[in-house]
A and B are shown apart, each in its own frame.
Chain A
Amino acid sequence: MSPLDGFLAAFSPSLLPYLLLGVALGMFFGIVPGLTATMGVALLTPLAFRFPPAQGLAIILGVYIAAMFGGDITAILINMPGTPASIAVTFDGYAMMKQGRAGLALGINALASAGGSLFGLITLALVAIPLANFALRFGPPEYFALALFGLSMMVSVSGMSVVKGLLVGLLGMLLATVGFDPIVGYPRFAFGKPELLSGLSFIPIMIGIFGVAEVLDQVLQRRTLVAGLSAVTGVLGRLMPKRAEVRQVAPAFFLSSAIGTVVGAIPGAGGDIASILSWDQAKRISKRPEEFGKGSLEGLVAAQTANNSIVGGALATTLALGVPGDTVTAVLIGILLIWGLKPGPLFFRDHLPLFYEIVGICIAATIISGLLSVVRARGIVRWIVGLNRGRLWAIVLASCAVGTYALNNSAHDVWLMLIAGVLGVALRRQGFPPGPLVLGLILGPIAESNLRRSLAMSAGDWGILVGEPIAATLLGASVVALGLAAWQRSRQDKER
């Protein structure tokens, strides 16, 4: 079978039922709060094994790609990112929802997500090996710098105060130190509780901070919510952007596609970093930066494009090096190994047609997900805004509780979610942005383990962190991003 035959095989009618099943389940996992793409892929692995690799991969990759689309839908409609990768989508997507432009936000979600995903996959097909080779050059100092870079980006783009953003980010990193020390295994801040030894899971905290806290915040301001919902009910608005709007968002789209693909190729760096970074960069090149965070089309496109274009980059690293680009591709490696397909440089030599079939499956899944999210978007938004507030709160809170429990069948996680929800609403009311807390939790362990490995490599010499060009560049960029953000906020304060 030639590479072209492999690619075309992905579009054969025999694969379509498997793709549709994967995409439908992926949408479900993305839309329902508490469920994630990783969980969906993991839960469907036993099902995928029953089929040959192409059919099994159609289910798994369908879930992976459609969950990205679905997560963005809840981020727009109820300010609840389905996954950390959708956090940046809430900045402008939810603002558009409150302005009565939910239809346009969902239409753009489908187009930008599909476009970003296709861009990443075409790049995967063209430059998989060189891109993966670059990511291979990352060592502990680079990973430490990358973690700080991701956090500094989040801080620089969220909230009115850089200091408040940094405080919340550090709080997240501090919470991430609960449990066994990553280097010597010493238990920290566990207070004798076995549940705390493995650390605080970030998904219950993420659901609490974004889901439960959002409901509590809406309960606190019930008058505002009534006005907001009545404005949206029945006024879904158009789904498709106008030609002038497409021209306006084009630079943000191409920039974010490139950023998402490159970030996706870096092992461990996922859509969360890519979307925040892209949102920030799009703001910098925008002619209307003041609209970012208030319902900007460019901001929405940047966040959505980036978190979908990582798929191509993540698959490049996974297939070319056997190193997972994110948690979903970590599960994917396990599945490929069971089929006797070993990811790594030899994968391209031994299974080149399958590689192109994988690219084709991803493209087909992207197209189906895009079509489904446009067709279903209208129904979803009408159903959600048509519910009375109490019923919407009830669905969200019950789904959060059951979804959080289902992650590890743990009651401890559900309590953690509730506590995080209370903390989240307290932080919001005090003007602290919640995003950096979750990112600090995700990036904290990466930062600590790589900082300590770096220092062990250099016998305690901190100079190693700035001695490597990639690490030095990332750290320098972090300082510049924070400095610029602080300067901009200070200028805005003076103008007020």
Chain B
Amino acid sequence: MKDLLAAAAFTLLAAAVFVLTVPFPPGAEGSLSPASYPRLLAASLALLTGLLIVEGRRRKAISAAERTDVAAAVGVVGLTAVYLVAWHRWRFDVPTVLYVAALSRLSGPGRWGSALLFAALVTAFLSVAFGYVLRVPLDGI
């Protein structure tokens, strides 16, 4: 089932490449067009997808009774996305302190004060290293 989902995704990608390359211009005689190489890769993807399904049937199923914390992982991705928007729209320091403090509390209960102090130190280091030493403009990206 796992491999079937991946196979479906790769097949869709290969099909999309063929569709998207239709308007590409033809190449000169004796040379490849801009579409040829991506199509070659897409055809190889489609071929290997078939092999993936065959291989998945031959391989013995391995039980994967592993506990995973999907909500926490989705939370980290969401938090990172919100942080990037805040950094992009506003400034670097305050969103970074809040982001680092929130992430550092992910591992369990703790004091917000200690998390904020740690976050302020990390943010100060990043600001000095990137903003001051390397002269990277961190605000208003």
Contacts and interface: CB of A to CB of B under 8 A. Distances in A.
Interface of A: 28, 32, 43, 161, 163-164, 166-167, 170-171, 173-174, 177, 181, 183-184, 186, 188-189, 212, 215-216, 219-223, 388-391, 393-395, 397-399, 401-403, 405-406, 409-411, 414-415, 418, 421-422, 425, 430-432, 448, 451-452, 455-456, 459-460, 493, 496
Interface string B26-40: 010111101001100
A398 B48 contact: no
Contact of A448 (B37, B52, B58, B88): B37
Contacts of A184: 25, 27, 34
B69 A411 contact: no
B136 A409 contact: yes
Contacts of A212: 80
Contact of B41 (A177, A389, A414): A177
A421 B77 CA distance: 9
A402 B103 CA distance: 16
B59 interface: yes
Interface string B11-53: 0010001001100110101111010011001101100110110
A409 B126 contact: no
B48 A170 contact: yes
Given A390-B105, A430-B6, A456-B31, A174 B72 contact: no
Contacts of B58: 493
Nearest to A212: B80
B65 interface: no
Contacts of B30: 455-456, 459-460
Contact of A418 (B10, B77, B130, B136): B77
Interface in B89-133: 96, 99-101, 103-108, 110, 118-119, 122-123, 126, 129-130
A256 to B, nearest CB: 30
B136 A405 contact: yes
A388 B34 CA distance: 50
A196 B88 CA distance: 19
Contacts of B49: 167
A398 B88 contact: no
A459 B45 CA distance: 27
A160 B62 CA distance: 13
A455 B32 contact: yes
A102 B36 CA distance: 47
A425 B73 contact: yes
Contacts of A415: 84
A411 B138 CA distance: 10
Contacts of A167: 6, 10, 45, 48-49, 52
B122 A220 contact: no
B1 to A, nearest CB: 11
Interface in B50-94: 51-52, 55, 58-60, 66-70, 72-73, 76-77, 80-81, 83-84, 87-88
Contact of B2 (A219, A398, A430): A430
Interface of B: 2-3, 5-6, 10, 13, 17, 20-21, 24-25, 27, 29-32, 34, 37-38, 41-42, 44-45, 48-49, 51-52, 55, 58-60, 66-70, 72-73, 76-77, 80-81, 83-84, 87-88, 96, 99-101, 103-108, 110, 118-119, 122-123, 126, 129-130, 134, 136-138, 141
Contacts of A410: 141
A452 B126 contact: no
Query: Which 4 pairs show the lowest CB-CB distances between chains A and B?
Result: A390-B107, A394-B103, A460-B30, A181-B34
B138 to A, nearest CB: 7
B77 to A, nearest CB: 6
7 contacts: A171-B45, A220-B73, A223-B67, A398-B96, A398-B123, A451-B32, A455-B30
A394 B119 contact: yes
Contacts of B103: 390-391, 393-394, 397-398
Contact of A177 (B27, B37, B134): B37
Contacts of B59: 493
B37 A451 contact: yes
Contacts of B76: 215-216, 219, 393, 397
Contacts of B130: 402-403, 406
Contacts of A186: 24-25, 34
A397 B70 CA distance: 18
Given A425-B73, A459-B30, A493-B59, A409 B37 contact: no
B32 A388 contact: no
Nearest to A431: B2
Contacts of A161: 52, 55
B45 A170 contact: yes
Contact of A399 (B3, B68, B126): B126
B88 to A, nearest CB: 5
B32 A177 contact: no
A339 B80 CA distance: 44
Contact of A390 (B66, B68, B108): B108
A34 to B, nearest CB: 9
Nearest to A461: B30
B15 to A, nearest CB: 13
A171 B7 CA distance: 13
A174 B134 contact: no
B126 A398 contact: yes
A376 B6 CA distance: 43
B57 to A, nearest CB: 12
Highest count of chain A CB atoms <10 Å: which of B37, B67, B68, B118: B37
A221 B66 contact: yes
Contacts of A459: 30
Given A167-B49, A415-B84, A451-B37, A174 B100 contact: no
